Amino acid sequence: MRQDEKIISNIDWPLLGVFLLLMLMGLATVYSVAYNPEHPNIFDFSQKYGKQLVWLFVSLFLGLLVLLIDADIYRKFATPIYLFTLVLLVIVLFMPSKNGARAWLGIGTLGIQPAEFAKIGTALLLARYISSVNIKLQNLNTVLVANAIILVPMVLILLQPDAGTFVVYTSFLFVMYREGITYDPLVLKLINLIPGIKFKQTWVGSHFIPILFAVVFLCLTTLLVSNNVITFDFLPGVEIPGIVGVLLTLVVISIFGLYIVRYIGSRRDRKNALVVIIIGFSLCSLISLGTNYGFQSLAKHQKERIELFLGLREDPDGDDYNRNRAMAAVGSGGLLGKGYNKASVSSVETNHVPESETDFIFCPYAEEWGFLGTFVFVGLYMFMLFRVIMIAERQRSRFVRVYAYTVAMILFYHFAVNVGMDIGFAPVIGIPLPFFSYGGSSMMSFSMFMFILLRLDSQRSYILQ
């Protein structure tokens, strides 16, 4: 069997199939939500669905080209690809502002968003660097260089500004943890500078950052109810101040955490766990104080978004209109939905949900197909994510494994945040839903992401580094 024929047979067809199915479902949703009865033909390129069809074919064409390129090329040219995307991110800063941001590179209505393609360059170079044979994963220089690869495009994206893509870039940090690049050794050295503390590299020390993150997250979550009063239906008239509930919760967390560590590690682990809990409580207090003072320096719209997301105030017909209408559209679908092309709340004509064909594309789909339709939709995305992770774990090459995990994490971030902001579980930061949202840059970049992975995986028998 010829090598090219073997590569074709090695392509992960289940992943390719669900990827193409989601693209078609996205095109059908864009057609439905942007439908113009005066221009019903989907091949009418003056309409958004016509343009989306063009971008779909362009994406598939680019994907075909990607499949024709030898997989080793992506590793060898990772640095030039990364630098090229950085140049585009710099150039775009000098372009005219559009909707308050300099994020588009092009003329008139034709253009691309370099930040979307910069993810590919960053993923390739990060995979190339981590897979280098002469680096030590726990070395301080390795940690700094790996983070610099991520931080440089993040800073350029923040200057545009594009908060949504900036947040997505934090997904790369989880990929580094998978390969054993952590901040734990550096943090432990800083902790041991504190007089009277000798923090050893035990089980708790090896998982210091995740444990600390969990402690701080739980503390901050409980602080949200500190200004409220806790009541009980079965004890009428009994009220407990929220701050008391917070303190009781923190005590329970501490006892529970130490109890778990008792059966996982040694006596030294329990001492280390106590140090982590104390540091977590201290950080929580500092974050709380910093928020109270730093909150005053934020811009008005930033304060409003934070307050609305945390439930500190309500304004359903004002600042929280988008999220409120999005949740109403999703809920109006009921169990079976209203039927294809019958969305009312999220249609372009009613305009109750702004950007319903881009950032809020999940709303018309949920309204048309209901709970059962969204169940299928979520199932397809979960299948795709698990398939990517399965591909990552079967690689002998660390380069391919790291790249596959970047694909999985970026897809998960976009999916979770986009759907989450439509149902009130995430703040509205405006990032596209992969393969669904209207837009050429996101469609092409996500498609190239996926086809590069398919090509790398198809040569897993030949790529050893």
CA pair distance 396, 230, nearest whole angstrom: 54
Identify which has the larger pLDDT, 186 or 176: 176
Asked whether the predicted pLDDT for residue 433 surpasses 60, the reply is yes
The mean per-residue pLDDT over the stretch 31-51 comes to 84
| Alpha helices for 69-113 (secondary structure H) | 72-76, 78-92
CA pair distance 93, 38, nearest whole angstrom: 39
Please name the residue that has the structure tokens 């169940």. 375
pLDDT for the residue 38: 83
The mean per-residue pLDDT over the stretch 39-61 comes to 87
CA pair distance 162, 404, nearest whole angstrom: 25
pLDDT for the residue 1: 46
**pTM of the model as a whole:** 0.77
Asked whether the predicted pLDDT for residue 157 surpasses 70, the reply is yes
The mean per-residue pLDDT over the stretch 120-130 comes to 91
Average pLDDT, the chain: 76
Q: Which residues contact 429 (CB under 8 A, 6 or more apart)?
A: 163, 164, 167, 417, 421
Q: What angle do CA 43, 53, 29 make, to 5 degrees?
A: 100
> Is the link from the previous residue into 354 a cis peptide, with omega within 30 of 0?
no
Residues in the chain: 465
95-104, 107-116, 200-209, 268-277: which range is least confident on average? 200-209
CA pair distance 162, 106, nearest whole angstrom: 17
Query: In the beta sheet, which residues pair with residue 112?
Result: 105
Token pair in block for residue 210: 């995740």
pLDDT for the residue 95: 80
CA pair distance 188, 201, nearest whole angstrom: 8
Would the CA dihedral through 254, 259, 262, 263 be positive or negative? negative
Identify which has the larger pLDDT, 2 or 369: 369
CA pair distance 459, 465, nearest whole angstrom: 12
291-295, 354-358, 437-441: which range is least confident on average? 291-295
Q: Mean pLDDT: which of 147-156, 271-280, 332-341 is highest?
A: 147-156
Convert the pLDDT of each residue in 352-405 to its tens digit. 677 777 788 888 888 888 889 889 999 999 999 999 999 988 888 889 999 999
| Alpha helices for 198-266 (secondary structure H) | 203-206, 208-223, 242-264
Q: Which residues contact 151 (CB under 8 A, 6 or more apart)?
A: none
Q: What angle do CA 52, 19, 337 make, to 5 degrees?
A: 75
The mean per-residue pLDDT over the stretch 57-80 comes to 89
Identify which has the larger pLDDT, 261 or 52: 52
Identify which has the larger pLDDT, 160 or 229: 160
pLDDT for the residue 460: 73
Convert the pLDDT of each residue in 297-345 to its tens digit. 455 555 565 555 555 555 555 556 677 777 778 888 888 888 888 877 7
Phi, psi (degrees; rounded to nearest 5) at 101: -145, 150
Beta-carbon count within 10 A of 359 CB: 25
pLDDT for the residue 438: 87
Phi-psi region of 105 (alpha: psi -120 to 50; beta: other; left: phi over 0): beta
Nearest to 388 by CA among 377, 373, 367, 403: 403
Strands 229-231 and 239-241: antiparallel
Nearest to 118 by CA among 388, 408, 406, 426: 406
